[in-house]
Amino acid sequence: MEQLKKWTTEQANKLFLIPFFELLFKAQKIHRQHFDPQRIQVSALLSIKTGLCPEDCKYCAQSSHYKTGLKTKKLIEVNHVIESAKKAKLSGATRFCMGAAWRNPKERDMLPLETMIKEVKALGLETCMTLGMINRSQASKLAKAGLDYYNHNLDTSKEYYDKIITTRTYQDRLDTLENIREAGIKVCSGGIVGLGEKVVDRASLLSQLANLPKPPESIPINMLIKIKGTPIVDNEDIDHFDFIRTIAVTRIMMPSSYIRLSAGREYMNEQTQALCFMAGANSVFYGCKLLTSSNTNENKDLLLFKKLDIKHECIDIDEVSDNQKNFDLTQVASNTEDLQFYNAAD
Ligand code: SF4
């Protein structure tokens, strides 16, 4: 259901001040009104074009402004994408996200992108792309090809934004979100905790997202991965309780959106992840490398889900039977060679 309440940054900021357990309790109650607390949506992420990005996002290994030692790759072949998507589906993912390190896609890129969407959808997976800024006509082409979600993060507050990115404006990002929405594609947009921002910036970012004409259906909350060579590699570590608080406040402000534990999950122990789920996170990236950064592997995820009695969320289209899926998951869990299968980033 569409969220109608409008938030001020002050109201959001006050939520961050609620005592930890009370905040978690409040978030968990809201979470249960909108979702099954034992279900998690699982997405897989494939880098379809890696590195040499002209943007200067200070956290990013793929920016051409920094020497991060990243091995770059041009737009990969459609066949490679299909093979990776098949394996992702076998591992239990229901959504396949394809990310390209571009300022924006060129017109010549549109046809292969549309083909990728069609082929991945034909496998019975939801599709998501993150390609940088897109205009209306590009959004409409992606929508026609069947794209379900488009990811475009706001990253941080409007106020702190220019400390992190100078090559595109906050308004550029909002315009892309509007183009996505107008094309009828679901919006995936969130931010990063640990950029050096203050709590009030987190409150401002979440207000911005919650006050969009329609809040994003999917909200990735990332913990900064400190990449050698980037300007913010020496940032102070984020306190995990502050991260969990951010998840809880996101859940309270956007009750019916999926909240994804994204980058940085490999730095969290099981207990931190469990508290994130309790605070309202209900989506993860699974077993691959998150674009260019290593993610927790599937074995660990499967064990944690088992300990917490968490089940994967299923999708209706062309779904494999539960028995088949359980069998496939067991196979994947016992085959460590499969763990890196959709790491196209290195
Ligand atoms: S975050 Fe995206 S836009 Fe920014 S430098 Fe990295 S790949 Fe480019």
CB 177 within 8 A of CB 132: no
Residue of 47, 48, 62 best suited for mutating to test ligand 1, as the one with most atoms within 8 Å of CB: 62
Residue 314 bears catalytic tag:
no
- The predicted pLDDT at position 4 comes to 65
User: 3-state DSSP call for residue 154?
Assistant: coil
Domain-located, residue 249: yes
Q: Buried (b) or exposed (e) across 26-47, using 16+ Cβ within 10 A?
A: bbbebbeeebeeeebbbbbbbb
Task: Determine if ligand 1 sits within 6 Å of the CB of residue 61.
Answer: no
Residue 276 bears catalytic tag:
no
Once rounded to an integer, what is the mean pLDDT over residues 31-55? 91
CB 254 within 8 A of CB 266: no
Domain-located, residue 33: yes
Choose the catalytic residue: 128, 202, 265, 276: 128
* Number of domains present in the structure of the chain: 1
Confidence band, pLDDT 50/70/90 cuts, at residue 45? confident
Residue pointed to by tokens 């939520």: 15
Domain-located, residue 239: yes
Compute, in angstroms, the gap from residue 101 CA to the centroid of ligand 1. 6
Task: Determine if ligand 1 sits within 6 Å of the CB of residue 176.
Answer: no
Q: What is the CATH number of the domain that holds 261?
A: 3.20.20.70
Distance (Å, rounded) from C-alpha 264 to C-alpha 295?
8
Own/partner contacts of 318-327, CB < 8 Å, gap of 24 or more, are: 318/123, 318/124, 319/124, 320/89, 325/92
Give yes or no for residue 286 having a pLDDT over 80: no
Q: Name the residue at shortest CA distance from atom 2 of ligand 1.
A: 101
* 288 labeled part of a ligand binding site: no
Domain-located, residue 3: no
Compute, in angstroms, the gap from residue 232 CA to the centroid of ligand 1. 14
Domain-located, residue 327: no
User: 3-state DSSP call for residue 46?
Assistant: strand
Q: Which of 21-35, 163-177, 277-291 has the lowest mean pLDDT?
A: 277-291
- The predicted pLDDT at position 320 comes to 36
Domain-located, residue 60: yes
Distance (Å, rounded) from C-alpha 13 to C-alpha 343?
38
Domain that holds residue 190: 29-307
Q: Name the residue at shortest CA distance from atom 4 of ligand 1.
A: 57
Compute, in angstroms, the gap from residue 59 CA to the centroid of ligand 1. 9
Domain-located, residue 230: yes
